[in-house]
A and B are shown apart, each in its own frame.
Chain A
Amino acid sequence: MTVATLGHAHVRARATTTEPGWVRAVIIAVSVVFIGLFVAVPLVAVFASALRDGLGAYLGAIVDPAALAALRLTLEAAAIAVPLNLVFGVAAAWAIARFRFPGRSLLITLIDLPLAVSPVIAGMVFVLLFGSRGLLGPWMAAHHLRVIFALPGIVLATTFVTFPFVARELIPLMESQGHEEEEAALVLGASPWQMFVRITLPKISWGLVYGVVLCTARALGEFGAVSVVSGHIRGSTETLPLHVETLYNEYAYGAAFAVASLLVLIALLGLVVRRLIAARIRRTT
């Protein structure tokens, strides 16, 4: 096994060093130009457009009551969806990594569903379930419960779209770490809860933080699913991405890009945190 791996690495190392110079130059150039055209230029354009009408107008668009309400709603939805997915992700990863049970492979497949299906469809599913003409609509109306066009719907849609992230981060981690330390803790007299808090949580902590960062970034930026269930009520059921779209449709380009730049800043912050955590995980394992 070791010999085979070494041999493979050796072949690969030689292959990269014998690549002709012009091939390397072309590959690097293609990557750099592509990233430049599709990532760097749009990023700069967002900030340039946002600041087009001057810093005053930029700040004005951000402290606009509708924008602040959208920011607040976005954070609220994320603040409910992320902890839900944290609990679900740990439970699902635990079940899949530790136990063999009927339906295990189906569960693994279903965890990936939100990544495979278009978010719009996810939103429509919730409308079909909870909308006024939906399956549970009449019952909910009778009990004065509102899901669609209200915070619960936005939270549901956000939770659905973001639930794979924590679980997907933890499953391979927990599978590679094995179960021996947990068994040792039990034999040493720990209760299952003590075992989880003292052994399992510290073992998976960085993977967990990483998953939460990915999950949060997606929760803050989700558009499609939320768009379907929110109803776009300005100042009430609009999240930041929806507010950007509304402003854009109203030809308020400066304001649209100002609010968009806020989302970009959050995304960049998330990237930095991810890099830091990834480096930390590499060092501790």
Chain B
Amino acid sequence: MTTAIAIDHVSKQFGSFAALHDVSLDIEAGSLVALLGPSGSGKTTLLRVISGLEQPDTGTIAIDGANHAAQSARQRNIGLVFQHYALFRHLDVFENVAFALRVRKRPKAEVEARVRELLQLVQLEGLGRRRVSELSGGQRQRIALARALAAQPRVLLLDEPFGALDAQVRAELRAWLRRLHDEIHVTTVFVTHDQDEAFEVADRVVVMNHGKIEQVGTPAEVFEKPANDFVMRFLGHVNVLETAEGRIYVRPHEVAIDRRPRDGAIAARVVRVTPLGGGLKVDLVAPTLASPVRADLDWERGAALALRDGDDVFLSLRRSRVFQAA
């Protein structure tokens, strides 16, 4: 394994706001990494520091082993796709994609060939002479990607790449970005606040909060073994139960419902049953628990139980977690 991007003790302050607080992270060459966190968690700042658009207050960034913290954005040869694409409105699609080659004064024939190749890669051949304003959101996104890839960057960075698109286009582009990465193998880092997006596209997920990294791992690792209660809460709904043993965390799909009492089961009453995606969402209250509980059942289990609002049932927890207080 070689490290493509080495982030070493990087901090960045905006006025009194600590956007990044002593962040260290190694990103493997050829990997596809998601920076996942709520807004204000520092993920976009981290991306901009890697790109060179922001200089860290302290710490270093090394790309391919060379320290680039002192280099400006233009010397790093990084591909960056902006959240709102930042396409050049006064240039057509072809010239947008060609920009990195034009400023490097590459020969005309090379520019022509490279742009044609890139437009083919993003499946937009034949749109070269279109104005940017004539493109759909999904097309703009792909042109921004082609433009970022033009000068064969060492690293590709994407800021909320699917944020501005509607749901269906977003799902298609996610799958497409994953396939594209498998094809061209450029080290890629993207920022998202959407857990599904991070899990579906990335090899590794970096969960961020308040300018710090909370956990790094594969999607399965961070979901199955969250390092702390923030990661647990951020990656999907969680029941937080105050019990005699302390505060415990249980995912809705880890709550089992039975009609008859089992060992250690908790008596509860069904408040509401809602069909949801591939199963049922059941809201319950239990006299021994301070807060309501949510349980997710698959269709088969739901049909077998035939729950109605107001039914008395018994809960058992298939799995629960306890975290040290933060």
Residue ranges of A at the interface with B (Cβ–Cβ < 8 Å)? 180-181, 183-191, 194, 198-199, 202-203
On whether the beta carbons of B72 and A180 are closer than 8 Å, the reply is: no
* Chain B residues closer than 8 Å to A181, beta-carbon distance: 86-89
Judge whether B313 is part of the interface by a CB distance below 8 angstroms: no
* Chain A residues closer than 8 Å to B78, beta-carbon distance: 187
CA distance A93 to B94 in the complex (A): 30
On whether the beta carbons of A188 and B89 are closer than 8 Å, the reply is: no
Closest partner residue, chain A, to B99 (CB atom): A188
CA distance A190 to B75 in the complex (A): 9
Judge whether B269 is part of the interface by a CB distance below 8 angstroms: no
On whether the beta carbons of B103 and A198 are closer than 8 Å, the reply is: yes
Could you give 8 example pairs across A and B, Cβ below 8 Å?
A: A180-B86, A184-B80, A186-B73, A189-B77, A189-B100, A190-B74, A190-B99, A198-B99
On whether the beta carbons of A184 and B72 are closer than 8 Å, the reply is: no
* Chain B residues closer than 8 Å to A187, beta-carbon distance: 51-53, 73-74, 76, 78-80
| Contact A188-B82, Cβ < 8 Å, known A181-B89, A183-B53, A202-B90 | no
| Contact A188-B90, Cβ < 8 Å, known A180-B84, A183-B53, A194-B103 | no
Judge whether B262 is part of the interface by a CB distance below 8 angstroms: no
Q: Which of B73, B77, B84 has the most CB of A within 10 A?
A: B73
CA distance A199 to B148 in the complex (A): 16
* Chain A residues closer than 8 Å to B76, beta-carbon distance: 187
Residue ranges of B at the interface with A (Cβ–Cβ < 8 Å)? 51-53, 72-74, 76-80, 82, 84, 86-90, 99-100, 102-104, 147-148, 150-151
CA distance A257 to B192 in the complex (A): 70
* Least Cβ–Cβ distance between B101 and chain A, in angstroms: 9
Closest partner residue, chain B, to A182 (CB atom): B86
| Contact A188-B53, Cβ < 8 Å, known A183-B86, A203-B90 | no
* Chain B residues closer than 8 Å to A184, beta-carbon distance: 80, 82, 86-88, 147
* Chain B residues closer than 8 Å to A202, beta-carbon distance: 90
On whether the beta carbons of A186 and B86 are closer than 8 Å, the reply is: no
Q: Please tell me which one of the listed residues A180, A185, A189 contacts residue B104 in the complex, with CB atoms under 8 A apart.
A: A189
On whether the beta carbons of A190 and B86 are closer than 8 Å, the reply is: no
* Chain A residues closer than 8 Å to B88, beta-carbon distance: 181, 184-185, 199
Closest partner residue, chain A, to B150 (CB atom): A188
Closest partner residue, chain A, to B103 (CB atom): A190
CA distance A235 to B224 in the complex (A): 91
* Least Cβ–Cβ distance between B311 and chain A, in angstroms: 41
Closest partner residue, chain B, to A192 (CB atom): B74
* Least Cβ–Cβ distance between B91 and chain A, in angstroms: 8
* Least Cβ–Cβ distance between B133 and chain A, in angstroms: 10
* Least Cβ–Cβ distance between A184 and chain B, in angstroms: 4
3 pairs of A and B residues whose beta carbons are closest in the complex: A180-B86, A184-B86, A188-B100
* Chain A residues closer than 8 Å to B150, beta-carbon distance: 188
Given contacts A188-B147, A199-B88, 17 further A-B contacts (CB under 8 A): A181-B86, A183-B73, A184-B80, A184-B86, A186-B72, A186-B74, A187-B79, A187-B80, A188-B99, A188-B100, A188-B103, A189-B74, A190-B74, A190-B99, A191-B103, A198-B103, A202-B90
Q: Please tell me which one of the listed residues B74, B79, B80, B86 contacts residue A191 in the complex, with CB atoms under 8 A apart.
A: B74
* Chain B residues closer than 8 Å to A189, beta-carbon distance: 74, 77, 100, 103-104, 151
* Chain A residues closer than 8 Å to B74, beta-carbon distance: 186-191
* Chain A residues closer than 8 Å to B99, beta-carbon distance: 185, 188, 190, 198
* Chain B residues closer than 8 Å to A186, beta-carbon distance: 53, 72-74
* Chain A residues closer than 8 Å to B73, beta-carbon distance: 183, 186-187
* Chain A residues closer than 8 Å to B100, beta-carbon distance: 188-189
* Chain A residues closer than 8 Å to B103, beta-carbon distance: 185, 188-191, 194, 198
* Chain A residues closer than 8 Å to B147, beta-carbon distance: 184, 188
Q: Please tell me which one of the listed residues A185, A198, A203 contacts residue B89 in the complex, with CB atoms under 8 A apart.
A: A203
* Least Cβ–Cβ distance between A40 and chain B, in angstroms: 40
On whether the beta carbons of A188 and B151 are closer than 8 Å, the reply is: yes
Q: Which of B51, B52, B77, B89 has the most CB of A within 10 A?
A: B89
* Least Cβ–Cβ distance between A153 and chain B, in angstroms: 41
CA distance A87 to B76 in the complex (A): 31
CA distance A12 to B45 in the complex (A): 43
Q: Which of A188, A189, A190, A198 has the most CB of B within 10 A?
A: A188
Q: Which of B76, B86, B148 has the most CB of A within 10 A?
A: B86
* Least Cβ–Cβ distance between A192 and chain B, in angstroms: 9
CA distance A215 to B7 in the complex (A): 51
Closest partner residue, chain A, to B151 (CB atom): A189
* Least Cβ–Cβ distance between B80 and chain A, in angstroms: 5
